[in-house]
Amino acid sequence: MSRFRKRVMPLVSLLLVLVMVLAVAVGCGKTEETPPPSTTISVTDDLGKTIELDKPAEKIVSLAPSNTEIVFAVGAGDKLIGRTDYCNFPPEASSVESIAGYSTPNIDAIVLLDPDIVLATGAHNQYGGTADLEDLGLTVVTLAPESLSDILGNITMVGTLTGNDTEAAQVVADMQSRIDFISDRTAGLSEGQKPQVLHVTWHDPLWTAGSGTFIQEIIELAGGVNIFDDVTGDVQVDTDTAVLRNPQVITVVSGHGSAMRTSYDYIIAEDSPFNITDAYISGGIHLINADLACRAGPRVVEALELFAKFIHPETFV
């Protein structure tokens, strides 16, 4: 018995160590490197990183609904092989394989798809996700637009990456003309002619968009004044302050990615804290689809047109 024990015990431990060493050895196996190919496509993304491809991207994974919309807008929808659960536009996007949520993408799924490029957003970079993907040898392009012109630039960039420069240029030109149509008509307005606008992304607690957001830019382009242009980014604000600033127009975002209307219902209700504002009294409270108001994609111009109608219904019909 004693012999048996003395022999088997070290054997067991040896076996364990062996398994571990083997596991590490397998993992550390080197992958052979290929010489850098001559580049034909070169762009700089919003993080200032240069992306070089030797041929247009054939396989694209998008990590955000806005990026998915851009890919389809430039006519490269057939090259999209991965999208998030929230990518619902255009309807064709739903036939593409999902790689889970926007904030929790499944990295295994992305790598398995073996894409030529991955279209990420600023948020992914902040969470360290882009670096993780790059460590795995993927080409990550980060779209982090801060203005409408940045969005147009992103569309052009995606067009270049997919080889669809012409389509992208058409989309950009169309968008630009629609933006110009509105800005031409609002440019001459005096301060007194610009209504005070409150944009509500959630009601309890009250969340709004301050300066440095698209909404701020859209409100200004549409000929209004954001009552919260003194705060920065997407922020939570005090309901009382919002009421006291007496908005003349209130735009309310619908529930994210669904048909929920609770924020809108709350604000138009009889006992709403906003029932003393000009917007409430004059019927200036409007519901806007979250997919339009929150995505930095080609449909941002539709959001601008809606805001223009809400803010200056007399000019834009």
Partner 1 sequence: MLPEITKDSVSTESAPPYPLQWRKRIYAMLGLVVLLIAVVILAISVDSPYIPFSTTFQVIFSKLPFVSTSSTWSPGVEKVILHLRMPRIILSGLVGAALAVAGATYQGLFRNPLADPYLIGVSQGAALGAVIGFMLPFSWGMWNLGAAPMFAFAGGLGAVSIVYSLARVGKTLPMTTLILAGVALGAFLSAITTFLMLRSGDTLHGVYSWLLGGFSCVSWTEVEISLPFVVIGVLFISLYGRSLNVMQLDEEQAQQLGINVERTKRILLLAATLITAVAVSFSGIIGFVGIIIPHAVRLIWGPDYRFLLPLSTLAGSIFLILANLLARTILTPTVIPLGIITAFLGAPFFLYLLRQRKRAIF
Partner 2 sequence: MSSLKLQDVTLAYGKRVVLRNISLETRANEVLGIVGPNGCGKSTLIKGITRVLGLSSGCISIGGQDITKLSAGELARLIAVVPQNPVLPEAFTAFEVVLMGRTPHLGFLQYEGQREVSIAMHSMELTQTQYLAERRVGELSGGEKQRLTIARALTQEPRIILLDEPTAHLDINYQIETLDLIADLCAQESLTALAALHDLNLAAQYCDRIIMLNNGQIQAEGSPAAVITAQNIRDVYGAEVCIRPHPINNLPTTLITAGNGKNGRKRW
258 vs 291: CA distance, rounded Å: 9
In the bound state with partner 1, the residue whose beta carbon lies nearer, of 131 and 281, is 131
Nearer to partner 1, 41 or 100 (CB): 100
The sheet that has 234-236: what strands, in order across it? 202-203, 206-209, 234-236
The answer to the question of residue 111 lying near partner 1 (CB under 8 A) is yes
Nearer to partner 1, 13 or 42 (CB): 13
- Per-residue b or e along 40-65, where b marks 16 or more CB atoms closer than 10 Å to that residue's CB: ebebebbeeeebebeebbeebbbbbb
Nearer to partner 2 among residue 1 and residue 24 (C-beta): 1
Q: In 188-301, at which residue ranges do the beta strands (DSSP E only) sit?
A: 196-200, 202-203, 206-209, 225-226, 234-236, 249-253, 285-288
CB of 133 to partner 1, least distance (A): 9
Cα angle, residue 91 at apex, residues 88 and 96 outer, rounded to 5°? 75
What string marks each residue from 270 to 299 as x (binds partner 1 by CB under 8 A) or -? ------------------------------
The CB-of-9 to partner 2 minimum distance in angstroms stands at: 8
What does 6 bind: partner 1, partner 2, none (CB cut-off 5 to 8 Å by kind)? partner 2
Q: Hey, which bits of the chain come out as E strands?
A: 41-44, 50-53, 60-62, 80-82, 117-121, 140-143, 196-200, 202-203, 206-209, 225-226, 234-236, 249-253, 285-288
If the CB atoms of residues 135 and 191 are measured against partner 1, the closer one turns out to be 135
Distance CA 148, CA 301 (A): 9
Specify the residue, 98 or 139, whose C-beta has the smaller distance to partner 1: 98
Q: Does residue 35 touch partner 1 according to CB under 8 A?
A: no
Asked if the peptide bond before residue 205 counts as cis, ω within 30 degrees of 0, the response is: yes
Q: Which of 190, 197, 188, 193 is nearest to 304 (CA)?
A: 197
Classify the C-alpha dihedral 209-289-280-275 as positive or negative.
negative
**Which of 10, 24, 188, 259 is close enough to bind partner 1 by CB under 8 A?**
24
What does the per-residue mask of binding to partner 1 show for 67-86, with x meaning CB under 8 A? ------------------x-
- Binding-site partner at residue 14 among partner 1, partner 2, none, CB < 5 to 8 Å by type: none
Q: Does 17 bind partner 1 (CB under 8 A)?
A: yes
9 binds partner 1 (CB under 8 A): yes
Handedness of CA 287, 289, 294, 298 (dihedral sign): negative
Q: Which parts of 90-109 interact with partner 1 (CB under 8 A)?
A: 98-101, 104, 106-109
Q: State the residues that interact with partner 2 by CB under 8 A.
A: 1-2, 5-6, 9
Nearer to partner 2 (CB atom), residue 9 or residue 14: 9
Catalog residues that contact partner 1 under the rule CB under 8 A: 1, 4-5, 8-9, 12-13, 15-17, 19-20, 22-29, 85, 98-101, 104, 106-109, 111-114, 126-129, 132, 135-137
